[in-house]
């Protein structure tokens, strides 16, 4: 069996075990309501995790993703309060466009400025936040200033099956993962993300335009952070300068738990989706679990991420040993 397939199965098993465990611990856990809670909460993080995964696959990291999301949520909300008539599709384009623009700045600095991505995006993380502080002038975007369709969006159902409501925001987030997943496995251009992350020197020798691929990864990451920003705006309505803080770490956690190699070159969108849902399920379930106090929750989550990486490293070492034996 392919190591990636095995990894996905292991992740899915971990998710199932988590759900089963909490269903014995928390009353009414396996309910439609919990499905809505977790799915809508994971939906905000998912696009950002997908974007982060693309960047990580190219052997980079995007730490500015949370700030990007905050800036997008604020700017989009701000624009909407002046132009409430803007068509929803255009609003989505606006959000993703702003995100892509920010991603392009990161990408250009990393690709052509030859500055390591961790430095560049650490810089833009702070810069964007400062920009937001300056720009917002301490004004809060409130639901009152947003058009009604946007305020209602988080409650809108795309469809229901067996009494389980699947919200429009969940469908939007999943769509981003599915589209990117298809691209990554089917599009020649997207396969270059893996090539670049797997062996940058070889990529140059193989005639791949390394800077262009890097730029594209950051632009996509920015655009997807824009989508998350849009979902954030719709869901929380109240946007202040702290919007999206800490999401960069959440996205890295989801990506790493989802089996994307932090050293670049490998990973799958199925893994990222399961990783995101797993991290969010644990986070959401722990807040409802009486046995664990507030302070242990973060520690447990941190432990989970470390365990995931350790198990992953151990497993891939065993697998490569196995495959060597076979050959």
Q: Burial-class residue 1 by CB neighbours within 10 Å (0-12, 13-18, 19+).
A: exposed
Which residue number, 81 or 198, has a Cβ lying nearer to another protein?
198
* Angle of CA points 309, 123, 306, to nearest 5°: 10
Which residue number, 161 or 293, has a Cβ lying nearer to another protein?
293
Q: Which of 13, 17, 118, 187 binds another protein (CB under 8 A)?
A: 187
Tell me if 273 sits within 8 A of 107, measured CB to CB: no
Does residue number 239 form part of the binding site for another protein (CB under 8 A)? yes
| Among 8-16, 197-205, 251-259, 306-314, the segment contacting another protein (CB under 8 A) | 197-205
Does residue number 81 form part of the binding site for another protein (CB under 8 A)? no
Q: Burial-class residue 59 by CB neighbours within 10 Å (0-12, 13-18, 19+).
A: buried
Tokens of 120: 């560049």
Spatial distance between the Cα atoms of 246 and 244, rounded to a whole number of angstroms = 6
Which residue number, 158 or 202, has a Cβ lying nearer to another protein?
202
Q: Which of 51, 77, 99, 154 binds another protein (CB under 8 A)?
A: 154
Does residue number 25 form part of the binding site for another protein (CB under 8 A)? no
Which residue number, 23 or 143, has a Cβ lying nearer to another protein?
143
Contact letters (x/-) for another protein, 43-72, by CB under 8 A?
Answer: -x----------------------x-----
Using the structure block, give the residue that is written with the tokens 């971990």.
14
**For residue 264, is it left (φ>0), alpha (ψ between -120 and 50) or beta?**
left
SS (H, E, C) 207-234: CCCHHHHHHHHHHHHHHHHHHHHHHHHH
Q: Minimum Å distance from CB 110 to another protein?
A: 18
Contact letters (x/-) for another protein, 280-319, by CB under 8 A?
Answer: ---xx--xx-x---xx------------------------
115-144 residues near another protein, rule: CB under 8 A: 125-126, 129-130, 132-133, 136-140, 142-144
Tell me if 76 sits within 8 A of 94, measured CB to CB: yes
Tell me if 103 sits within 8 A of 229, measured CB to CB: no
Does residue number 206 form part of the binding site for another protein (CB under 8 A)? yes
Q: Minimum Å distance from CB 187 to another protein?
A: 6
Through-space distance between the first and last CA atoms of the chain, rounded to whole angstroms = 14
Number of residues that bind another protein (CB under 8 A): 73
Does residue number 272 form part of the binding site for another protein (CB under 8 A)? no
Tokens of 127: 């810069």
Which residue number, 22 or 218, has a Cβ lying nearer to another protein?
22
Does residue number 259 form part of the binding site for another protein (CB under 8 A)? no
């Amino acid at each position: 069996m392919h190591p990636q397939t095995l990894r996905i199965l292991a992740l899915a098993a971990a998710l199932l075990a988590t759900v089963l465990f909490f269903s014995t611990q928390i009353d009414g856990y396996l309910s439609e309501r919990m499905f809505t809670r977790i799915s809508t909460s994971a939906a905000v993080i998912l696009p950002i995790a997908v974007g982060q995964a693309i960047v990580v696959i190219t052997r980079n990291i995007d730490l500015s993703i949370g700030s990007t999301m905050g800036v997008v949520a604020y700017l989009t909300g701000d624009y909407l309060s002046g132009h409430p008539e803007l068509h929803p599709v255009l609003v989505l384009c606006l959000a993703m466009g702003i995100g892509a623009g920010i991603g392009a700045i990161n990408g250009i600095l990393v690709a052509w400025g030859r500055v390591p991505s961790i430095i560049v995006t650490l810089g833009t993380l702070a810069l964007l936040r400062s920009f937001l502080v300056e720009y917002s002038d301490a004004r809060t975007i409130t639901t009152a200033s947003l058009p009604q369709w946007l305020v209602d969006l988080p409650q809108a159902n795309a469809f229901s099956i067996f009494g389980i409501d699947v919200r429009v925001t969940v469908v939007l987030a999943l769509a981003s993962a599915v589209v990117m997943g298809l691209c990554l496995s089917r599009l020649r251009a997207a396969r270059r993300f893996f090539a670049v992350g797997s062996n940058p020197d070889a990529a140059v020798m193989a005639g791949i335009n390394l800077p262009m691929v890097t730029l594209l990864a950051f632009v996509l990451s920015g655009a997807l952070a824009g989508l998350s920003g849009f979902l954030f705006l719709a869901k929380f309505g109240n946007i202040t300068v702290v919007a999206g803080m800490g999401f960069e770490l959440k996205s890295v956690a989801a990506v790493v738990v989802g089996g994307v190699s932090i050293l670049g070159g490998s990973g799958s969108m199925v893994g990222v989706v399961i990783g995101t849902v797993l991290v969010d399920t644990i986070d959401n379930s722990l807040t409802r679990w009486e046995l664990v106090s507030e302070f242990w929750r973060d520690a447990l989550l941190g432990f989970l991420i470390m365990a995931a990486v350790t198990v992953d490293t151990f497993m891939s070492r065993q697998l490569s040993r196995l495959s060597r034996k076979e050959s």
